[in-house]
Chain A
């Protein structure tokens, strides 16, 4: 069996002196759509950020394509994360935010400009591409964050509550784009508390606070 696109083994994370979760082992395969659910404080955000390689876990390891992240940090570029609070640069326009991510990944200026157009348009932001982030509504900002993650065409896309600010119509658009990642061969992991979103995924992982994770089947 081929290696899972992303996996973690015996992952334990702490924050503020408290244990968030202990001894968690999960696998995410290419083409899978997984929903991670659980009440507030159960550690969804912490799990996603650790999986994205943004901070070393207290113990355990994260592997991308079977290779531990600790051994080869450059693998982080294959995992994209949509932050819960978007993490956008407020003084840049929507298009510039997407371009910056592309430029940071090494594309040239022209390439970045070209590549940013599509995802923004597909998420209904074509008219707002040149608006500064701080002039956009919460929902629009969230979609820019999603576009930014999508543009990079990552192997694994982790999304932390990506539809929290969207109204019904846009929720559908965002979900469609995210789910399409799996169609292209990537792995999609969405942290959410929305049952509708969970319903569209292949499987659900439920996290219960301060206990080992249970892999719930659908």
Chain B
């Protein structure tokens, strides 16, 4: 089965006035259909960049990125737009940015459906599902939690195969945050939508099946079902999680010992 997202050696470089910033370096990643993934990592590590690449809003500077089997860098801008309209739903971090503030909830969902197919019934059902069925107020007048719930409904308006959310709960209180995550999970279960959520909230990552930690532009660690694993990178590089830094401080030397199911690293006293 085609993977929902497949990254092969994706590199992303930004240019500012004097510098070039390497946001992602050699990211290798496979996300299967229907998986729910949390992208963790400190700020500036490249999570948002990766998400924007998956949304088709940026083209990778190098490497290959496939969404649902299609190579994104081969698509024309028009085809990218169509893909975004039909197959990808995006929820941004700031609730206000996901919506047109002067439009009602229904109008916002309809706006998202403009590029694909207008399905009023589906729209109404979605709004009911997120608990905004009777909402008459304009989007700008809703609370943060209500806005973000609406944002999820909007993202799901076209029944996308891939749902991307950038820190959807960071500006919400606990209750609203939980509600939003619940909605996202529900979407994944019911429709088999692949979900990728960028977050630094541990609670959110616990609710999702798999966690991928991005550090300094690389995939550093992964977690499945609560267990953390380090990922061996392209050149064999491994990022030690912070809790092990005391045992094996960064910059120190270690010996590698072979084990039947892997390797052990022992400090080299010097």
Is chain B in direct contact with chain A in the complex (CB below 8 A)?
A: yes
- Residues in chain A within 8 A of chain B (CB atoms): 16, 39-42, 131, 135, 137-139, 164-168, 193-194, 196, 209-210
Asked if B226 lies at the interface with its beta carbon under 8 angstroms from chain A, I say: no
B143 at the interface (CB under 8 A from A): yes
Q: Is the CB of B16 within 8 A of A40?
A: no
B44 with A166: CB separation less than 8 A: yes
Interface of A is mostly: loop
Please, how many angstroms separate the alpha-carbon atoms of A193 and B172 in the complex?
Answer: 15
* B186 in contact (CB, < 8 A): no
The answer to whether A137 and B21 have CB atoms under 8 Å apart is yes
Known pairs A39-B203, A40-B201, A137-B21; A164 contacts B43 (CB<8 A): yes
Contacts of B200 in A (CB 8 A): 193
A166 to B43, CA, bound (A): 7
B interface residues with partner A (beta carbon < 8 Å) = 16-17, 19, 21, 42-44, 143-144, 169-174, 176-177, 200-201, 203, 216, 242
7 residue pairs from A and B, CB less than 8 Å apart = A40-B177, A41-B171, A41-B173, A41-B177, A165-B43, A165-B44, A209-B174
What is the bound-complex CA distance between A168 and B201, given in angstroms? 19
Contact residues of B: prevailing secondary structure = loop
Residues of chain A lying within 8 A (CB to CB) of residue B21: 137
Q: Could you tell me if B43 and A42 are in contact, using CB atoms closer than 8 angstroms?
A: no
- Judging by beta carbons under 8 Å apart, are B216 and A39 in contact? no
B143 x A16 contact (CB < 8 A): yes
Q: Given A167-B44, A193-B200, A194-B42: A41 and B174 within 8 A (CB)? A: yes
Closest approach, in angstroms, between the C-beta of A165 and any C-beta of chain B? 6
If A168-B216, A194-B42 touch, does A41 touch B172 (CB 8 Å cutoff)? yes
Report the separation of the CA atoms of residues A213 and B173 in the bound assembly, to the nearest whole angstrom.
15
The minimal Cβ–Cβ distance linking A38 to chain B, given in whole angstroms, is 10
The residue of chain A having its C-beta at the shortest distance from the C-beta of B14 within the complex is A137
A182 CB to closest chain B CB (Å) equals 24
User: Which residues from A are CB-within-8-Å of B171?
Assistant: 40-41
Shortest beta-carbon distance, B249 to chain A, in Å? 14
Decide: A139 and B201 in contact? CB cutoff 8 A: no
Chain B residue at smallest Cβ distance from A138: B44
Cα A210 to Cα B173 with chains together (Å): 9
Residues of A within 8 A of B16 (CB): 135, 137
Identify which of A39, A42, A165, A196 gathers the most chain B CB atoms within 10 Å of its CB: A39
Assess the A167–B173 pair: CB atoms within 8 A: no
Q: Which 4 A-B pairs have the closest CB atoms?
A: A41-B173, A40-B170, A164-B43, A209-B173
